[in-house]
Amino acid sequence: MKIKITSDSTCDLSPELIKKYDIDILPLYVVMGDDTLKDGIEATPKDIYEFVDKTGVLPKTSAPNLSDFIDLFKKYTEQGFEVIHFNISSDFSSSYATACLAAAEVGGVRIVDTRNLSTGSGLVVLHACEMAQSGASAEEIAKECSELTGRVEASFVVDSIDYLHKGGRCSSVAALGANLLKLKPCIEVIDGKMKSAKKYRGLIDRVILNYVTDRLLGRDDIDKHRIFITHTKCSKHIVDDVRKKISELSPGFDEILETTAGCTITSHCGPYTLGILFIRKG
């Protein structure tokens, strides 16, 4: 059977990677005022920044509806493909539950809960693509990728907690204290949920390099196939410094990939957020 890999838009893979691995992306929706727009097609991170600056309100994201999933899956099953679809963590969105309903109706579709978001999910999607290229079956791919989700390390450093505050993810008192102290929190994805980890202090350029050092220094348990640098609106020099720091602390990656985060991470964390995302050895 032919295999088709699909994912929702939260995987934050670049257009180049999507084309290279022939992945079909199903967009979530971004609600800005009275407008409901398709993530990455009708709405971009730039639109979110402009909307927040203008209104002081964060956009909301919503899952694709049942018919969106059914249309996507039938597009390929009717051509004789087995479909493996990858979703943002079921703890973040109803997308996974809706995808499962659609898969049950269409047949010939396997759903994988990545237990992650952004390129944490993207790492699992690319692994699936490589397995498919090597001739693995749909059952083998879904099983191995479901197990792989527990070895993905995803984290981000946030420059300002204003977006977290606007989104109701921290209190006004906490936001005020963090801003006064110039704190930059590290947000980790653990067991499918976002949790606050270490808090850094200082200028974001220096904080980001300290964060990268903390994530990589002295580690011998990292799979060196690929690592993502995923960010929102960070300058080229910061990304270049991070790439250099990765090579110094953990040399030997086959790929160091840079992507710009999409609407989901942007609406959670705001501008000047950066994360490194990779897989631990099995």
Residue 163's pLDDT is 65
The pLDDT profile of the chain, 282 residues, written as one tens digit per residue, is 799 999 999 999 999 999 999 999 999 999 999 999 999 999 999 999 999 999 988 898 899 999 999 999 999 999 999 999 999 999 989 999 999 999 999 999 999 999 999 999 999 999 999 999 999 999 999 999 999 999 999 999 988 776 664 555 444 434 334 444 467 889 899 999 888 888 898 889 999 999 999 999 999 999 999 999 999 999 999 999 999 999 999 999 999 999 999 998 888 888 899 999 999 998
Return the HEC string of 184-246.
Answer: EEEEEEECCEEEEEEEEECCHHHHHHHHHHHHHCCCCCEEEEEEEEEEECCCHHHHHHHHHHH
Q: List the domains of the chain with CATH numbers.
A: 2-149 (3.40.50.10170), 152-280 (3.30.1180.10)
What is the Cα–Cα distance from 274 to 84, expressed in whole angstroms?
Answer: 29
What is the Cα–Cα distance from 142 to 223, expressed in whole angstroms?
Answer: 20
Residue 173's pLDDT is 35
Are 80 and 1 in contact by the 8 Å Cβ rule? The answer is yes
| CA 91 to the chain's CA centroid | 14
What is the Cα–Cα distance from 4 to 22, expressed in whole angstroms?
Answer: 8
Return the HEC string of 63-127.
Answer: CCCHHHHHHHHHHHHCCCEEEEEEECCCCCCCHHHHHHHHHHHHCCEEEEECCCCHHHHHHHHHH
User: Which residue in this structure is represented by tokens 């956009």?
Assistant: 59
Q: Hey, what are 10's tokens? A: 């939260």
Residue 162's pLDDT is 67
